[in-house]
């Protein structure tokens, strides 16, 4: 990933925070970490969907689902980020995202809440976090990783 | 009202665009034949005339004026009956001018479509046409044999005009004497082009009540000076039949820019004609026939009535429909097909004996099939429109690059889905440009040295094969130099393995990789490094495949394989483990069971089976796609003998589920990055129970299985 993208990302966020702009994030758990997605990218959250497997795709692509006539690909967040397969638990669900008119579902361990973030979002400390555009502290003290949806959709 | 004028603009755009297309086609044909036939001239005259009329109505002045001048120009040709007398450079100039005007008009129409303001900058065109006409006049009067010159006819027209002005009042009286009613129409002050507006009224009147009327001034169509008369005195329509007045008034009312109209009975006429008054309509037709014969000897008038009767005919059999309506129709038909199988294959019905239900279900199936066929055929349009555009490109590029190339078109009647036709226009253009620019040799000597016809040839061919349409673009040019391609590719850093490992096919495939362009110099037409990869993308968007074959010195052939329609296929559902796949019925030859001893295993471990005297490889779907299934023994599963183009093989699957019509859904865009199409997956579909089935692409599946060995 090129360094410049982080810098520009950073500047944007700084100017944003000067105006104390509130941003809404949906937080979810994956691999015992808290992630956040900008709420405008979230379409809906679904559970218990029958995923049709696709042959010859990377392991993290779980397959496709039929969402009321629309075919949506599903990727496993945990596998995408940490290369570990997630096990199905009670809280497992799919968050349907719409990023630049591309629909995609992400399989996560559990969805937590929608929160307003006004804190300054800092750049991630290391560059090996793919798709992470920044980090921030939540009111309860946990750390949230901000997910960059564009990268998630575009990086293969 | 707003809606109304929107409709009018839509109609105008549709009409003008198709007229311009027609115009271009005639021009191209005429240029090839190096001659305008009388029909051509009349046709162009008619086209320009209609454009002039409708543009004037819509108040697009620049188009009106331009069309008017072109009409003038062709008026001269028509009087001379041919353009054969033109010298070579003159003809070239004429064609260039005509094509430029065509381009300009198209641009303008596009502007109207996008709601942009029109450019008024038509002076240069008018000047060009004027100077051309002058040259032409000089030319013609030099060759006295033609006798009639524009100047002469101009003078004659003027004389006629003067004469008419003198007896115009007399004429009106004469008309009044012959008919029972006069309608006097006044147009809005300063609306301009009164004569054309009047002519539009005449046209619409002809459409609604036939030619049972006459009008004054008679030459509104060809003579702009009549507009002055109309402004001063009004435009007169003379009618005989009282019953037609209401209709005529309705037409006049609905015409734009009409300020007022007045219906006056002609007392004189009634008296004179009182004897003939109660006679049958045939009498009145014959009368008006004589009137029109007497009043308008000009060919113009005849042509216009012919034209309007022609238009009436086409109006009755063809309507234009918004494409989005067809899209939603298609979507609904798709849903009906799915729902139908949901109902008839409902699990609730399992094990029940329902004779009547089955009978009705069959009937329903038949009807939905028919409905689907019709819905599909509505969307089918011939590919000729796209192909004909290529003629122009070949012509223009041939001139600019000084290459003599002929374009041969085969199978232009081939029909395919409207959306597909629209989306292949750009790719085709890229390919033809490439062929012109890179394919055909720069130097004629190069061609003759190889024993080729000095004139280059590009062949555009379209044909059906089962569920696909194959479009090939073949040129007999220099072919692709694989060495150069490799060099270039390595310089651009798009090679993924050592140069020596590339096969010819792979090298040619490099041409389709983004950021590749073989031409060293960027030209007006190609060489920016975009092009072929865009072609590939666009074709893949409609589910097609691009392949290139080429022999050095013999030419290049680009093949586009595109599915006929994206919508619905007949498929066989098969199960492998938990997954369900759909095999298009058109690809299936046979399904059969066999035992282990029928299977031949070669030294590399490939399984082969014999069918009808030939040997076919076996592709185990579960192995190829890594699917967990209990059925791995040949005795437990079933074989399906499939065929696609020249590839034939046997697929091993768990079992058949049944035949079903499925609505093809493209795979989500996100997955395009995984080259899933190359793995043999054409798309997916939603089954009656809501599950997803994956549609197999038998040809690509074969390639995938070969490469996975």
Q: What is the value of ipTM here, to two decimals?
A: 0.78
Mutate to test the interface with B, among A55, A80, A99 (most CBs of B within 10 A): A55
Contact A104 B673 (CB under 8 A): no
pLDDT > 90 fraction of chain A, expressed in percent and rounded: 12
Residues of B in contact with A53 (CB under 8 A): 578-579, 627
Would you state the pLDDT for residue B256? 67
The residue among B617 and A130 whose pLDDT is bigger is B617
Question: pLDDT grade, residue B709 (50/70/90)?
Answer: low
* Distance, CA of B223 to CA of B228 (rounded, Å): 10
Q: Does A33 touch chain B (CB under 8 A)?
A: no
**What is the model's pLDDT at position B279?**
41
Superfamily of structural domain A3-154:
CheA-289, Domain 4 (2.40.50.180)
Query: Nearest Cα to B405, choosing from B370, B452, B368?
Result: B452
CA-nearest residue to A151 within chain B is B670
CA distance A33 to chain B (A): 26
Which tokens belong to A9?
């990302």
Question: From the candidates B580, B671, B695, B697, which should be mutated to test the interface with A, based on the most A CB atoms within 10 A?
Answer: B671
Residues B670/A64, Cβ–Cβ less than 8 Å: no
Q: How far is CA B446 from the centre of its chain?
A: 36
With an 8 Å Cβ cutoff, are A71 and B681 in contact? no
B679 touches chain A (CB under 8 A): yes
CA closest to B690 among chain A residues: A66
Please determine, for residue B3, whether its predicted confidence score (pLDDT) is greater than 70. no
Residue A126 CB burial class (10 angstroms; 0-12, 13-18, ≥19): exposed
Which of B42-46, B90-94, B516-520 is the least confident region? B516-520
Give the DSSP H or E segment for B153: helix B150-178
pLDDT reported for residue A85? 66
Cα dihedral: B383, B385, B386, B389 (round 10): 150
Chain mean pLDDT for chain B: 75
The reported pLDDT for the residue numbered B223 is 67
Structure tokens at B114: 């996008």
Whether A106 has its CB under 8 Å from any CB of chain B: the answer is: no
Averaged pLDDT for residues A77-103? 80
Q: Residue B328: pLDDT above 80?
A: yes
Chain B 529-588, CB below 8 Å of chain A: which residues?
Answer: 578-579
Say if the Cβ atoms of A50 and B670 lie within 8 Å: no
| Interval B667-688 mean pLDDT | 81
**CB within 8 Å: A73 and B670:** yes
The Cα B55–Cα B60 span in angstroms is: 5
Lowest mean pLDDT among A11-25, B106-120, B579-593: A11-25
**Residue partners of B302: CB distance under 8 A and separation at least 6:** B296
Instruction: Give the CA distances from residue B19 to residues A97, B33, B44, B67, B609, in Å, rounded to whole numbers and listed in that order.
Output: 47, 21, 9, 12, 59
* Res. B158: pLDDT tops 60: no
Distance from CA of A18 to the nearest CA of B (A): 35
Q: How far apart are CA B487 and CA B514, in angstroms?
A: 16
- Of the ranges B28-42, B246-260, B338-352, B451-465, which one carries the lowest mean pLDDT score? B246-260
Give the CA dihedral B249, B253, B258, B261, nearest 10 degrees: 30
Q: State whether B669 and A58 contact (CB < 8 Å).
A: no
- Most confident stretch, B165-174, B214-223, B654-663: B654-663
Q: Which residue has the tokens 């509130």?
A: A22
Model confidence at B648: pLDDT above 70: yes
**pLDDT greater than 50 at residue B409:** yes
pLDDT value at B422 more than 90: no
pLDDT at B290 over 50: no
Task: State both tokens at A104.
Answer: 């995609």
Residue among A67, A134, A59, A113 at smallest CA distance from A94: A67
Q: Which long-range contacts (CB under 8 A, 24 or more apart) does B503-509 make?
A: B507/B482, B508/B480, B508/B482, B508/B548, B508/B549, B508/B550, B509/B548
Check pLDDT > 90 for residue B641: yes
State the helix-helix crossing angle for B384-401 and B2-33, rounded to 10 degrees.
Answer: 50
> Which stretches of B242-382 are assigned E, i.e. beta strand?
258-265, 380-382
Mean pLDDT of B521-546: 66
Q: What is the pLDDT of residue B108?
A: 81
Q: Quick one: closest CA in B to A57, which residue?
A: B674
Residue A128, pLDDT score = 60
The reported pLDDT for the residue numbered B302 is: 44
Distance from CA of A52 to the nearest CA of B (A): 6
- Per-residue pLDDT, B95: 80
On chain B, the residues whose CB falls within 8 A of the CB of A66 are: 686, 690-692
Domain ranges in chain A?
3-154
Kindly report the nearest CA distance between residue A66 and chain B, in angstroms: 7
CB B235 within 8 A of CB B262: no
Q: Does A68 touch chain B (CB under 8 A)?
A: no
What's the pLDDT band for A142 if we cut at 50, 70, 90?
confident
Cβ <8 Å between A103 and B668: yes
pLDDT greater than 70 at residue B269: no
**Whose CA is closest to B409, among B388, B433, B382, B430?**
B388
Determine if residue B564 is left, alpha or beta; phi over 0 gives left, psi from -120 to 50 gives alpha, anything else beta.
Answer: alpha
B585 SS3 class: helix
- DSSP string covering B417-459: EHHHHHHHHHHHHHHHHHIIIIIS-S-HHHHHHTT--SSEEEE
The more confident residue out of B257 and A112 is: A112
B626 touches chain A (CB under 8 A): yes
Q: Give residue A4's pLDDT.
A: 43
Nearest residue to B32 via CA among B105, B97, B95, B101: B95
Q: Is B449's pLDDT higher than 80?
A: yes
Nearest to B674 among A58, A65, A66 (CB): A58
Which residues from A are below 8 Å from B705, CB to CB?
none
Q: If you average pLDDT over every residue of chain A, what do you get?
A: 78
Question: What is the mean predicted confidence (pLDDT) over B564-590?
Answer: 84
Is residue B111 over pLDDT 50? yes
Q: Sorting pLDDT into bands at 50, 70 and 90, what band is A64?
A: very high
In sequence order, the β-bridge partners of residue B561 are: B470, B545
Contact B50, B15 (CB under 8 A): yes
Mean of pLDDT values over B450-477: 84
- Residues B229-252, mean pLDDT to the nearest whole number: 74
| For residues B39-60, average pLDDT | 80
Q: How confident is the model at residue A42 (pLDDT cuts 50, 70, 90)?
A: very high
Q: Which residues of chain A does B692 touch, with a Cβ-Cβ cutoff of 8 Å?
A: 52, 64-66, 71
Residue B320: is it exposed, middle or buried by C-beta count within 10 angstroms (0-12/13-18/19+)? exposed
Determine, for residues B670 and A56 on separate chains, whether the beta-carbon distance falls below 8 Å.
no
Structural domains in chain B, sorted by start: 2-148 (1.20.120.160), 163-317 (3.30.70.1110), 323-379 (1.10.287), 384-563 (3.30.565.10), 568-708 (2.40.50.180)
Name the 3-class secondary structure at B351. Answer: coil
pLDDT band for position B86 (cuts 50, 70, 90): low
Yes or no, beta carbons of B670 and A57 under 8 Å apart: no
């Amino acid at each position: 990933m090129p360094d410049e993208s982080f810098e520009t990302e950073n500047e944007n966020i700084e100017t944003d925070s000067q105006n104390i702009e509130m941003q809404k994030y949906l937080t979810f758990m994956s691999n015992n970490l808290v992630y956040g997605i900008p709420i405008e990218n979230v379409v809906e959250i679904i559970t218990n969907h029958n995923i049709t497997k696709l042959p010859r795709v990377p392991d993290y692509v779980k397959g496709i689902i039929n969402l009321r006539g629309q075919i949506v690909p599903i990727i496993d967040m945990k596998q995408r980020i940490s290369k570990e397969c997630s096990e199905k638990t009670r809280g497992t669900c799919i968050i349907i995202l719409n990023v630049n008119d591309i629909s995609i579902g992400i399989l996560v361990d559990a969805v937590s809440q929608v929160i307003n973030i006004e804190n300054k979002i800092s750049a991630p400390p290391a560059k090996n976090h793919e798709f992470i555009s920044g980090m921030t502290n939540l009111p309860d003290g946990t750390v949230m990783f901000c997910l960059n949806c564009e990268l998630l959709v575009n990086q293969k | 009202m707003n809606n109304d004028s929107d409709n009018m603009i839509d109609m105008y755009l549709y009409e003008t665009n198709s007229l311009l297309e027609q115009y271009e086609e005639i021009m191209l044909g005429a240029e090839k034949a190096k001659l305008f036939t009388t029909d051509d001239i009349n046709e162009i005259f008619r086209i320009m005339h209609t454009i002039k009329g409708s543009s004037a109505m819509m108040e697009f002045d620049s188009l009106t004026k331009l069309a008017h001048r072109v009409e003038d120009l062709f008026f001269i040709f028509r009087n001379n009956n041919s353009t054969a007398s033109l010298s070579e450079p003159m003809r070239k100039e004429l064609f260039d001018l005509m094509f430029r005007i065509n381009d300009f008009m198209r641009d303008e129409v596009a502007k109207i479509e996008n709601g942009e303001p029109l450019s008024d900058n038509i002076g240069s065109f008018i000047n060009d046409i004027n100077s051309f006409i002058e040259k032409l006049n000089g030319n013609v009067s030099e060759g006295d044999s033609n006798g009639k010159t524009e100047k002469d006819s101009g003078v004659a027209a003027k004389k006629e005009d003067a004469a008419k002005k003198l007896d115009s009042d007399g004429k009106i009286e004469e008309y009044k004497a012959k008919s029972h009613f006069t309608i006097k129409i006044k147009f809005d002050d300063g609306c301009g082009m009164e004569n054309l507006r009047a002519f539009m009224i005449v046209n619409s009147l002809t459409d609604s009540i036939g030619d049972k009327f006459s009008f004054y001034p008679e030459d509104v169509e060809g003579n702009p000076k009549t507009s002055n008369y109309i402004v001063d005195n009004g435009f007169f329509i003379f009618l005989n039949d009282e019953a037609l007045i209401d209709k005529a008034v309705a037409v006049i009312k609905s015409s734009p820019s009409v300020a007022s109209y007045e219906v006056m009975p002609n007392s004189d006429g009634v008296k004179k004609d009182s004897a003939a008054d109660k006679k049958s309509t045939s009498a009145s037709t014959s009368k008006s026939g004589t009137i029109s014969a007497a009043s308008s000897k000009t060919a113009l008038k005849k042509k216009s009535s012919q034209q309007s009767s022609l238009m009436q005919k086409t109006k009755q059999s063809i309507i234009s429909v918004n494409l989005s309506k067809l899209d939603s129709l298609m979507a609904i038909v798709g849903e009906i097909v799915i729902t139908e199988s949901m109902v008839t294959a409902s699990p609730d019905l399992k094990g029940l004996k329902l004779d009547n239900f089955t009978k009705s279900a069959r009937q329903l199936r038949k009807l939905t099939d028919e409905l689907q066929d019709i819905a599909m055929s509505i969307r089918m349009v011939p590919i000729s429109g796209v192909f004909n555009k290529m003629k122009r490109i070949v012509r223009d590029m041939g001139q600019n690059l000084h290459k003599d190339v002929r374009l041969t078109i085969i199978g232009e009647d081939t029909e395919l889905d409207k959306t597909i036709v629209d989306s292949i226009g750009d790719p085709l253009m890229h390919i033809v440009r490439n062929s012109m620019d890179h394919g055909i040799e720069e130097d004629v000597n190069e061609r003759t040295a190889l024993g080729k016809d000095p004139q280059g040839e590009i062949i555009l061919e379209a044909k059906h094969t089962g569920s696909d349409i194959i479009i090939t673009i073949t040129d007999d040019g220099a072919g692709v130099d694989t060495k150069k391609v490799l060099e270039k590719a390595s310089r651009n850093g798009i090679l993924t393995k050592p140069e020596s490992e590339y096969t010819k096919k792979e090298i040619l495939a490099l041409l389709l990789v983004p950021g590749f362009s073989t031409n060293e110099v960027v030209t007006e037409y190609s060489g920016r490094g975009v092009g072929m990869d865009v072609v590939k993308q666009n074709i893949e968007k409609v589910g097609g495949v691009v392949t290139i074959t080429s022999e050095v010195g013999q030419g290049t052939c680009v093949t586009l394989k595109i599915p006929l329609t994206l919508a619905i296929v007949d498929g066989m559902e098969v199960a492998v483990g938990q997954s369900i796949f759909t095999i298009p019925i058109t690809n299936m030859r046979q399904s059969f069971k066999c035992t282990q001893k029928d299977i031949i295993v070669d030294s590399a471990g490939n399984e082969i089976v014999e069918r009808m005297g030939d040997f076919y490889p076996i592709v185990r779907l579960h192995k190829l796609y890594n699917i967990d299934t209990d059925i791995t023994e040949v005795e437990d599963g079933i074989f399906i003998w499939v065929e696609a183009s020249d590839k034939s093989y046997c697929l091993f699957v768990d079992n058949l589920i049944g035949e079903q019509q499925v609505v093809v859904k493209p795979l989500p865009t996100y997955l395009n990055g995984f080259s899933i199409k190359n793995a043999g997956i054409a798309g997916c579909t939603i089954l009656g129970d809501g599950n997803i089935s994956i549609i197999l692409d038998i040809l690509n599946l074969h390639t995938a299985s070969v490469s996975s060995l």
